[in-house]
Amino acid sequence: MIIRVRRAIAVALLGTALTACGATGQPARAGRPAPAASPSAASPSVAPPAPAHARPPTLAPGPAGLTPVFRHAPRTRDRAVALTFDADMTADQGPRAAAGEHFDNPELIAALRALKVPATVFMTGRWAEQYPGQARAIGRDPLFEIANHSYSHYAFTADCYGLPTVSEDRMRADVERAYAAFRAAGVPDPMPYFRFPGGCYDRRALRAVGGAGVTAIQWDVVSGDAFATDAEAVARQVLDGVRPGSVVVMHCTRSAAPATERAVRTIVPELRRRGYRFVKVSELIGATGERG
């Protein structure tokens, strides 16, 4: 109980800036449907007007467009894993950034470049507005791809880690506003993938964002980097959880995930030693399974 109270206080003090803050190793989805036994994509069942991204979803639609991707079950022995990083910033955190709080993490991006690790960054539109130069540089680097994490980082369901909520009639607009922010920052060709703030969703939310032409991407490995200061503990949690086809959720938010860059420097060489290769989400879920 004490741990839960401390965690709740930490979330409140940090403005609930991060998603997926659970430390259990399971995706944080209170009140959401359980993942399907065979993960598949949640692209829309009816093609909407094209939003701000050019590339189509790489997976066929799930049932009624309501099945998110948690991991990709490989058809071969290919040991691929996708590291994903949520660049979180809520719509009302501008004053905190102006006061010197860092919602970015350039050292983490530099480490990924130095280690030559492909990665997918799920970015909020508000983050792109705050750090347009970094957003543009990440988006133009072929090592990375940028995907949508909403504009406001408001929750798409009630009771989601204390996050403010976006109304159902504004959900699609919030997704599309993020793409508009990416365009304004000069991000080329962001991906048509979407991660729910806090990982919180229901069928109503899936239908709403399906209209924006995006595939919902969740995760099967929680890094535990949110609010963590022990990089070795974060690394152990990832290394213990990764399986072929895993999607790992981490954060690109220095003030509230300060151990991530150090953890990555442990995770990457160890997974490579175990025979894993790193891929972006687009490659992971678009893989045909032809490699041996």
What is the C-alpha to C-alpha distance for residues 237 and 155, in angstroms, rounded to an integer? 26
Q: Tokens for 125, please give them.
A: 């539109």
How far apart are alpha carbons 78 and 292 in whole angstroms?
Answer: 6
What was the pLDDT predicted at 290?
31
Q: Is 32 within the bounds of a domain?
A: no
15 in a structural domain = no
SS3 110: helix
Residue 27 lies in a domain: no
**pLDDT digit string (tens) for 35-54?**
333 333 232 222 333 333 33
State yes or no: pLDDT of 181 exceeds 70. Answer: yes
* Burial of 278 per CB tally in 10 Å (0-12, 13-18, 19+): buried
Residue 38 domain-assigned (yes or no): no
CA separation for the pair 17, 96 (Å, rounded): 11
Q: pLDDT value at position 66? A: 62
Structural domains in the chain (count): 1
* pLDDT > 90? residue 20: no
Q: Is residue 33 part of a domain?
A: no
Share the mean pLDDT of the chain.
Answer: 81
Full domain range(s) for residue 124: 53-286
- Is 104 part of any domain? yes
pLDDT in tens, 69-116: 888 877 677 899 999 999 999 999 999 999 999 999 999 999 999 999
253 located within any domain:
yes
User: What does the pLDDT read at residue 179?
Assistant: 98
48 lies in some domain: no
CATH number for position 129: 3.20.20.370
pLDDT per position as a tens digit, 251-270: 999 998 999 999 999 999 99
In three-state secondary structure terms, 83 is strand
6: its two tokens: 């401390």
